[in-house]
Chains A and B, each alone.
Chain A
Amino acid sequence: MRSPPIPEMATQEVQLNETLAHLKTESETLKTKLEEERAKLHDVELHQVAEKVEALGQFVMKTRRTLKGHGNKVLCMDWCKDKRRIVSSSQDGKVIVWDAFTTNKEHAVTMPCTWVMACAYAPSGCAVACGGLDNKCSVYPLSLDKNENLAAKKKSVAMHTNYLSACSFTNSDMQILTSSGDGTCALWDVESGQLLQSFHGHAADVLCLDLAPSETGNTFVSGGCDKKANVWDMRSGQCIQSFETHESDINSVRYYPSGDAFASGSDDATCRLYDLRADREVAIYSKESIIFGVSSVDFSLSGRLLFGGYNDYTINVWDVLKGTRVSILFGHENRVSTLRVSPDGTAFCTGSWDHTLRIWA
């Protein structure tokens, strides 16, 4: 025979359920209010505002250099501030530093894990950071002595509980921002390996991140498998804005050069532009004929062009203001997995599952 519930416990449970119900109602009300507020500001489309802007001319961009040397899929790359060196990482565990002008390999490191999904060049040009299935982000100082074993000086900085998907130095060699399959982003002190701040809010793997241009303050944007792009305050750890309009994983996010907007690329085959001050999506870059996911996006120096690397092996070049495609580039023989414009905007580099990197200009 079941004993009746103790009256006190029953009252408590009723109270908890009431509190939960109140909170749920409040969250629904707030969500509706947010949607209404954002809709009020939608008085015009970006391409309408850009109607009077001169159309872009014909673009002739070709592969100018091919960097061969990786033994497997290239997963990530980053430019050095000197505008000529590049670091790239691969599924085979190798991290290579190249001189993109001459195509010479300057350094090579073999990581203890395969699938090195993330790599980044330090602002000073004196170190690189990388990581992947080892769940860590490690920093390797680059030696001028070619014979020196880079692996010996390796410093483990970040520790996540799942794969490292992206990493970036902040504006100095002293701090690194990471994103992970464990659903979080984190800010680390390179010297001590200490966790300075963690960023919780994504409901699934975080796949990408980008730091706001230094003039616009301490924020960064991240994108994940929960289809959300979140903007974070680096000091407080708070998520200050969130956008959920993509229909699938967000593989890449990149700030517009002024810092007032950012672009995203997704498995839903679209790139989108989000305006931070209007707090909404303001453009979608898509075509019915484009059905494969976007792995990586970046802007040209003025922000007028958006380059997207796709899983169908192509690069699509979009007119950011008018919303139209201006060019499609062929050359890679497998998925384009990573794409970055050089620091002085003279070229952009792509990495691919075809084991090569290409420089386009």
Chain B
Amino acid sequence: MNENLFASFAAPSMMGLPIVVLIVMFPSVLFPTPSRLINNRLISIQQWLIQLTSKQMLAIHNQKGQTWALMLMSLILFISSTNLLGLLPHSFTPTTQLSMNLGMAIPLWAGTVITGFRYKTKASLAHFLPQGTPLPLIPMLVVIETISLLIQPMALAVRLTANITAGHLLIHLIGGATLALINISATTAFITFIILILLTILEFAVALIQAYVFTLLVSLYLHDNT
């Protein structure tokens, strides 16, 4: 039972070859390139969704920040599609791997910080000390603000990993409990099944929300530095 619980998080391989790269690349197949002025229904719906999200997300940015539009939209599309595909039974979810999420979070966060230090050095350094801080608190607050800046990529990655992993584990556990209870008590099994249905609906929402939160936070870090 213990081995089965975490088996779905192991890196998948087929005939000894790792196929995790194929799994990571797969969601891009679901977003075909628009090739006409008026496209088919799938592409039109995707374009509408992308426009809606990008308008809302890029509204706070100035011209410099809006150069990150492609990056931010690719990020939210990738994470949301990966999370949603991971809810299919027996599928592997790349965003449950901390290594992958760190690989997304650290370069993006570092990019925003380096952009800020390069173009607005004074403002970026002054950001470590909130305005109006009393004199005795200044050194401590500078240290605290530095630590909170350095923790940002870790928090980004761990938040996504923990949320998706926890959801998958819960579904696995409650699904197992439902199966085990069928022979013991049909009523309890039915109630557990209802809980499983509700949890799955919640996980659909969490998959989209976590993608949005990740992208929004990167967008906010960019806004602070541009």
Same complex:
no
Q: Which residues does B use to contact A, with CB under 8 Å?
A: none
